[in-house]
Amino acid sequence: MGDRNLAVGWYRFNSSGGWKIPETVVPENHCSGERPGWLDGPHPSVGDGEVTRTVCFIVGSNICYRNQEIRVKNCTGYFVYQLWPSPYTYAVYCTATDSALGDPCVTHTVLDQPWRSTDCSNTECSDGTWMGDRNLTVGWYRFNSSGGWKIPETVVPGDHCSGHYPGWLEGPHPSVGDGEVTRAVCFTADSNICNRIREIRVKNCTGYLVYQLWPSPYIYVVYCTATDSALGDPCVTHTVLDQPWRSTYCSRTECNGGTKMGDRNLAVGWYRFNSSDGWKIPETVVPGDHCSGHYPGWLDGPHPSVGDGEVTRTVCFTEGSNICNRNREIRVKNCTGYFVYQLWPSPYNNAVYCTDPASVPTGEPQETTAEPQETTAEPQETTAEPQETTHS
């Protein structure tokens, strides 16, 4: 059989042979065809909406000899796929007989491998051998070693984690209430901090995290673990940003001596805004060329209450008439009197996390007993965006 003549359209699989495309490699001459197709990445969660995924078709020992991009949507209880004709005769979109998802908090594989630590440069932790996850079996994993128990959320330099190309999470880990979420793992190659990416699934199991991992994109590419994996309380441990130029009242460069500002090189971490021009990110659209940058960032949703704990929110960056041209998922916590934000570098130069002048309280918020020190360095601008390389 084959799907060479399949009409373009949306399809739902629903048979005794399975109801979703498998996320693991299917051997040649299976699924009633010569070239079976499997999904090279995770299925989306309901909140992801429609996403683009790649179906790989195997030929001999080449597990992704040809591929086809498709669209997938999670319809709460089943998946639908926008499919195109397969790339050649007898190439088939497969279904997985064992399609039950189960609970990955219960069923997963534990990886106790200290050599994955971000502290391990070159091959010092692996007896002189370069490590990699190219042949890792698709499945749910839990990291639990002296080298760490979660993937780091900050950039890892090349030649660390016992591999040439270390992998780090470009975004926050989910809270328990988020369920399973999709995240991107970036792999560093020299000065390119995100040379290649791999989308994975992550779930917070209350006390530990599990990851649905795929083989890394090439040899000596490693999913890292952070040695310092303790979460701590960000209400106590955070960096204070006292920078009035972030105000939504500041158009162009009037508040900072004619210089366009940006957070492209902001270090990943927990921050508290506390200046005369605002102490929280605005919840309404900010026009372009404000907050002393070209692309002002505003919170597309409400701030949490104290009882919500840490939550995931989206910061939208305005560009011209496009109020959410690019976005960045962050973490937010209400500390009773002020907010703290786990921020990542903004998506490009001159993109700024804004503050709302109307949010300045009439009285001083209560301080914690261990207030962190304010940073002394302003975020610096990069001169160019990281470029995708084609070398693997």
Is there a single domain that holds both residue 78 and residue 150?
no
Last residue of a domain, one of 183, 199, 223: 223
pTM for this entry: 0.45
Domain, as residue range, for 27: 9-93
The three-point CA angle 270-271-277 to 5° equals 165
The order of strands in the sheet holding 62-74 is: 9-11, 79-83, 62-74, 51-59, 35-39, 91-93
Whole-angstrom distance, CA of residue 117 vs CA of residue 188: 15
Is there a single domain that holds both residue 30 and residue 83?
yes
Whole-angstrom distance, CA of residue 162 vs CA of residue 147: 12
- What's the longest Cα–Cα distance across the chain? 72
Q: Which residues partner with 343 through β-bridges?
A: 269
Give the three-class secondary structure for 328: strand
What is the pLDDT confidence band of residue 53, given thresholds at 50, 70 and 90? very high
Backbone phi, psi, residue 89, to 5°: -60, 140
Q: Does 370 score more than 70 pLDDT? A: no
Is there a single domain that holds both residue 219 and residue 245?
no
Last residue of a domain, one of 93, 127, 150: 93
Residue-wise pLDDT tens digits, 186-232: 999 988 999 889 989 899 988 789 998 989 988 999 999 987 654 45
Is there a single domain that holds both residue 133 and residue 200?
yes
DSSP-assigned letter for residue 145: B
Is there a single domain that holds both residue 156 and residue 121?
yes
Is there a single domain that holds both residue 351 and residue 262?
yes
Backbone phi, psi, residue 357, to 5°: -60, -30
Last residue of a domain, one of 42, 64, 93: 93
Nearest to 335 by CA among 274, 290, 286: 274
Tally of domains within the chain: 3
Residue type for position 253: T
- Which residues, at least 6 apart from 356, have a Cβ–Cβ distance to it below 8 Å? 247, 248, 278, 280, 281, 282, 283
Give a yes or no: residue 365 inside a domain: no
Residue-wise pLDDT tens digits, 300-351: 999 999 988 888 899 999 999 999 988 988 889 999 989 999 888 888 899 9
Is there a single domain that holds both residue 17 and residue 64?
yes
